[in-house]
Amino acid sequence: MPRSSYLNTSPILASRVYLHPSCQVIGDVKLGDDSSVWCNTVLRGDVNRIVIGRGSNVQDLTMGHVSHKTADKPEGSPLIIGDCVTVGHAVILHGCTIGNECLIGMGSIIMDDVVIPDRVMIGAGSLVSPGKVLESGMLYLGRPAKAVRQLTAEELTFLRRSAEHYIAVKNNYLNGTRA
């Protein structure tokens, strides 16, 4: 079963959410309308919360986790993902905040306390170091990730189209009409 409770918390799913049977969604996780979690992904909200916005997709083999609350850091590091975000295959997201209409490329690692504002693209295989605050409208690449240029008009449009594509795919799964 893809959903599991942890202590006194259980995942909360909004309307039209798709969880692939092989994923694991554990503890304090909230998934927004039309979001999807794909094959062998793990969202582990055991020691802090995970919130995923409307129309976002978390693709195959991704790990989403959090950092616990401490006396020095009472809020810890939750994982917050905005609306219409595409998280590519085999990404590690750990206690970071991602704004709306972002794309996190395959194999990227986003560390604790990173803040990615709206409309950012992280290139495949990038590493965003702990505590880094990125700039909206930019493409980031590398290990460590650095801003390489502003996103083009086509890329900015693609950010939303990518999320809309995954909404259509998850609807096919929910409706039993896989094409």
CATH of the domain at 64: 2.160.10.10
Least Cα distance to 57 among 78, 34, 40 occurs for 34
Q: Which residue has the tokens 């409208």?
A: 137
What does the mean pLDDT of the chain come to? 97
In 35-105, which ranges are E strands?
36-37, 42-52, 57-58, 63-65, 79-81, 86-87, 92-94, 97-98, 103-104
Query: Chain-centre distance of CA 127, in angstroms?
Result: 15
In the chain, the percentage of residues whose pLDDT exceeds 90 is 97
Distance separating alpha carbons of residues 142 and 39, to the nearest angstrom: 26
How many domains does the structure of the chain reveal? 1
Distance separating alpha carbons of residues 32 and 102, to the nearest angstrom: 16
Domain assignment of residue 31, given as a range: 3-175
pLDDT at 80: 98
Q: What digits encode the pLDDT tens for the residues 79-111? A: 999 999 999 999 999 999 999 999 999 999 999
pTM reported for the whole predicted model: 0.96
Q: What digits encode the pLDDT tens for the residues 50-59? A: 999 999 999 9
Distance separating alpha carbons of residues 174 and 114, to the nearest angstrom: 33
**What is the DSSP code (8-state) at residue 98?**
E
